[in-house]
């Protein structure tokens, strides 16, 4: 049977390769898919095994991530330039034998250009590829499976079912009926009938009944195959305990990045839940990979477009982008970033940016008549004095008190008339309070801000006020629609500060 050969680099797309392997095995069968880690026996020369598998496969899937082209070895040389590189050998061997090669693009990778490839791989640049994304994995996989059916026989859709095939090969013949004995056909009137238990029908009924009882007893006493438990969403510890309880063991562990789930959480499994298997069977699982730490790059002075590209290359995201009017720098130049450059953060963290906004020249104002001198008034602005350095001394969340950490950093506020800077947020005040709102949407980008409340899934309202010598900060999280699975409620956080410096 033609097979599917999955070629990939471990450091480039190991998680996607494992997930794709499980899905293809589930659809085409284990004998139809080759993955080096899963299929090479212990002790075999893996170079010879890979060469034999490529020679006999029906199609090769070249999984290409962002680092597939420029991946380097320990000496700092590009791996594709090494004639003994296994990924190059696998792909070049398939191209040389005119075996169909399908590029599978993951992590937003682009098709390589011919000038980026060695001579024996240049033909790969002209092969039609497919894209697999985390958000559209199921629909992308369906398209790939349709493309693979012409190269691999689908065991789940055989042209002739097994029972039909057996019927076609073995003709049905009637069982022979034993001839009746003479005494069964002609009986003397004076001869008394035989006892009922000696009749042929009674003996036959006894034999059949005994066989049924034996079969039923064997069925009830014969040990049943255990059912595979559902491991999805469990930690690796809980998954191992469930398998042990079902007399099964943990098989291969494939790791995959998922920013929405905790590390070592089971994403999928093979065999599927409730499948009956032999006791001691190994169940392969796909786990959430622990995200590596990334150092925040220095972005100040760069343009917004360059900063976005740098963050994307480091697997970081652009968070909230606020603008500050400036006349001394170019439009969209990064002025500040948070977290600060040099800090270690997890992969996928959103970095907030402050960028310059060019100031427009105001239109000339015609001369106005000189206003009358102001009249004395006892009315004073109700705006309190926010300026100074404040330290938190009390915090509650939905009415429950929280312990304030002694490491909590003080808050610095500057004030110029009605313009109040809280941290790096500029707010216009009214009625003795400082209030501003932010709107966020659920679109697989954590902290993605939108313009209006109608678009928002989450509305975050910040309110500051001074009461006596206490600064009170209230923040309300209003979940208007399910925001990453959060229930539709309002959360209220209240923090109180006292001034430690003017």
Q: Is the pLDDT of residue 381 over 60?
A: no
* Spacing of C-alpha 436 from chain mean position: 34
Residue range 241-286, pLDDT digits in tens: 899 888 999 998 888 877 678 888 999 999 999 999 988 899 999 9
Kindly state the average pLDDT of the residues 18-45: 80
**Residue-averaged pLDDT of the chain:** 79
Mapped onto helix, strand or coil, the DSSP state of residue 470 is strand
What pLDDT score was predicted for residue 91?
92
- Which is more confident, 207 or 341? 341
The rounded distance, in Å, linking the Cα atoms of 349 and 440 is 16
Q: Report how far residue 440's alpha carbon sits from residue 484's, in angstroms, rounded to the nearest whole number.
A: 11
195-209 residues labelled b (16+ CB within 10 A) or e (exposed): eeeeeeeeeeeeeee
Residue 377 has pLDDT above 50, yes or no: no
Dist. CA 131–CA 117, nearest whole Å:
20
Task: Say if CB 274 and CB 227 are below 8 A apart.
Answer: yes
Angle, helix 10-28 to helix 137-148, in steps of 10 degrees? 70
What is the predicted pLDDT for the residue at 365? Answer: 59
The yes-or-no verdict on residue 123 having pLDDT over 70 is yes
**In this predicted structure, what is the pLDDT of residue 499?**
87
Position 225 confidence tier, pLDDT thresholds 50, 70, 90: confident
> What Cα–Cα distance (Å) separates residue 406 from each residue in 195, 262, 394, 409?
101, 28, 11, 8
200-207 — which CB contacts under 8 Å span 24+ positions? none
Compute how many other C-beta atoms are within 10 angstroms of the C-beta atom of residue 177. 6
- Kindly give, in sequence order, each residue whose CB lies less than 8 Å from that of residue 257, ignoring residues fewer than 6 positions away: 15, 288, 289, 291, 347, 348
For helices 86-96 and 46-56, give the axis angle rounded to 10 degrees: 30
In whole angstroms, give the CA distance from residue 53 to residue 56.
5
- Hey, is 158 helix, strand or coil? coil
Rounded Cα–Cα distance for residues 248 and 244 (Å): 5
Residue 49 and residue 44: Cα distance in Å, rounded? 7
Rounded to whole angstroms, the Cα distance separating 274 from 262 reads 25
DSSP state of 134: S
- Tell me the residue length of the chain: 502
Q: Is the pTM of this model over 0.85?
A: no
In the three-class reduction of DSSP (H, G, I as helix; E, B as strand; rest coil), residue 211 is classed as helix
Residue labelled with tokens 């029906």: 58
- Which domains occur in the chain, in start order? 4-148 (3.40.50.10140), 236-288 (3.30.10.20), 293-358 (3.30.10.20), 388-501 (2.40.128)
pLDDT of 357 over the 50 cut: yes
pLDDT digits (tens, 9 = 90+) for 491-501: 888 999 888 88
Residue 69's alpha-carbon distances to 33, 86, 115, in angstroms, are 24, 13, 11
**Residue 7 in contact with residue 63, Cβ under 8 Å?**
yes
Q: What is the pLDDT of residues 142-200, one digit of tens each?
A: 989 988 988 876 545 544 333 333 333 333 334 344 444 444 444 444 555 556 555 66
- The per-residue pLDDT for 446 is 60
Task: Tokens for 18, please give them.
Answer: 């494992």
pLDDT at 67 over 70: yes
Res 181: pLDDT: 44
Question: How many other β-carbons are positioned within 10 Å of the β-carbon of residue 241?
Answer: 13
Looking at per-residue pLDDT, the higher value among 393 and 418 belongs to 393
């Amino acid at each position: 049977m033609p097979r599917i050969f999955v070629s990939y680099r471990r450091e480039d797309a190991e998680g996607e390769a494992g997930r794709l392997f499980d899905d293809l095995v589930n659809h085409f069968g284990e004998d139809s898919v080759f993955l080096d880690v899963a299929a090479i026996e212990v002790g075999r020369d893996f170079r010879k095994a890979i060469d034999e598998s490529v020679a006999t496969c029906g199609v090769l899937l070249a999984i290409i991530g962002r680092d597939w082209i420029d991946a380097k070895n320990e000496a700092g040389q590009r791996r594709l330039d090494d004639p003994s590189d296994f990924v190059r050998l696998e792909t070049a061997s398939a191209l040389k034998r005119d075996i169909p090669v399908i590029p599978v693009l993951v992590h937003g990778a682009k098709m390589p250009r011919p000038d980026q490839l060695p001579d024996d791989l240049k033909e790969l640049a002209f092969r039609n590829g497919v894209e697999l994304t985390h958000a559209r994995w199921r629909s992308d996989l369906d398209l790939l499976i349709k493309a693979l059916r012409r190269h691999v026989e689908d065991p789940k859709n055989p042209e002739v079912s097994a029972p039909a095939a057996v019927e076609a090969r073995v003709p049905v013949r009637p069982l022979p009926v034993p001839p009746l004995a003479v005494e069964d056909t002609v009986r003397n009137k004076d001869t008394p009938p035989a006892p009922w238990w000696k009749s042929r029908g009674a003996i036959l009924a006894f034999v059949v009944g005994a066989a049924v009882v034996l079969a039923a007893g064997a069925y009830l006493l014969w040990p049943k195959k255990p059912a595979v438990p559902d491991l999805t969403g469990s930690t690796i510890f809980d998954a191992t305990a469930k398998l042990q309880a079902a007399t099964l063991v943990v098989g291969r562990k494939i790791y995959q990045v998922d920013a929405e789930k905790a590390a070592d959480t089971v994403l999928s499994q093979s065999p599927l839940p409730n499948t009956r298997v032999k006791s001691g069977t190994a169940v392969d699982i796909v786990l959430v990979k622990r995200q590596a730490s990334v150092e925040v790059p220095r972005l100040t002075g760069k343009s917004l477009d360059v900063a976005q590209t740098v963050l994307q290359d480091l697997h970081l995201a652009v968070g909230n982008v606020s603008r500050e009017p400036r006349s001394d720098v170019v439009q969209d130049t990064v002025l500040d970033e948070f977290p600060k450059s040099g800090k270690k953060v997890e992969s996928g963290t959103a970095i907030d940016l402050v960028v310059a906004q060019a100031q427009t020249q105001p239109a000339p104002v015609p001369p106005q008549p000189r206003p009358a001198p102001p009249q004395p008034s006892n009315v004073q602005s109700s705006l309190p004095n926010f300026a100074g350095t404040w330290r938190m001394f009390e915090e509650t969340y939905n009415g429950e008190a929280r312990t304030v950490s002694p490491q909590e950093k003080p808050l610095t506020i500057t004030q110029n008339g009605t313009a109040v800077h809280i941290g790096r947020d500029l707010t216009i005040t009214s009625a003795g309070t400082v209030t501003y709102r932010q709107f966020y949407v659920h679109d697989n980008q954590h902290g993605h801000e939108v313009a209006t409340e109608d678009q928002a899934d989450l509305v975050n309202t910040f309110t500051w006020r001074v009461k006596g010598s206490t600064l009170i900060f209230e923040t309300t999280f209003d979940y208007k629609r399910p925001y990453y699975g959060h229930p539709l409620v309002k959360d209220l956080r209240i923090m109180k500060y006292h001034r430690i410096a003017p």
